[in-house]
A and B are shown apart, each in its own frame.
Chain A
């Protein structure tokens, strides 16, 4: 199955029975006036807390801290609140309302971190630094004689088997270490489209390497 081409393994019921807290959230958010305002303020407070926790969890990897991290969390919470209130009709009660809402703020943190990458990019996304590849996959420099041919074959397959778009995505993510969410912004795409492009590239490259004896051929093993 190709990513995004077919359904989930088990589709939940269109509308599940709401728990009492979730029903109350929906009721007050659909209301007007002070009750709704109070609910929005409470939801925003929850979203800021979740966004701060998530930004802190990812912060060390991104060298984000202090006011910058807090600012990112507040922006994520504000944008998530807009997304949530705009999609209330899509909540089907398959989880608690707050779990559904937290998902949006986690996505917003991810997206903002993707944008943050381009403020201090370590490499141009389309540079081709093949020397990084051995380190990327933990090849032992002392055993270069054993893996030199494999990486040369991989490079040939990248050149000969991939489409221009697949090659661009592979180079950015694998050779240059550009985070997928950052590439989404650079290529004005969405996460699913970039992932599918990389998925197809991975499958083609593995097929080429297996066909030439550089990696195990699963088809012959199964027959």
Chain B
């Protein structure tokens, strides 16, 4: 059932999640490494967990990554 698994996915919390403050503090480092192809999810699992769960921080990461990639082209 799609709805049940969607709800379950939303309610699940990852104990590694560092929260917005830490993720925002590190976002420039994380995004620059990601843009360079570094395995950031393995290097910073707590930030990766947060960016997966937090829509606003995930959106900020996508935006910063897009800016870096645009600049590189």
Contacts and interface: CB of A to CB of B under 8 A. Distances in A.
B1 A1 contact: no
A6 B47 CA distance: 12
A48 interface: no
Nearest to B45: A9
A3 B20 contact: yes
Contact of B2 (A5, A6, A98, A138): A138
Contacts of A2: 19
Q: Chain A interface: which size bin?
A: 35 or more
Contacts of B57: 191, 195
A206 B63 CA distance: 31
Contacts of A53: 66-67, 70
Contact of B20 (A12, A179, A192, A203): A192
Contacts of B66: 53-54, 57
Contact of A4 (B20, B27, B32): B20
Contact of A102 (B45, B59, B62, B67): B67
A143 B1 contact: yes
Interface string A202-223: 1101100100000110000000
Interface string A130-142: 0000100111100
Contacts of B62: 57
A110 B67 contact: no
Interface string B1-16: 1111011101111011
Contacts of A96: 32
A3 B50 contact: yes
14 contacts: A3-B18, A4-B22, A5-B19, A57-B63, A99-B31, A102-B67, A103-B28, A138-B6, A147-B3, A154-B7, A199-B13, A199-B53, A202-B11, A206-B8
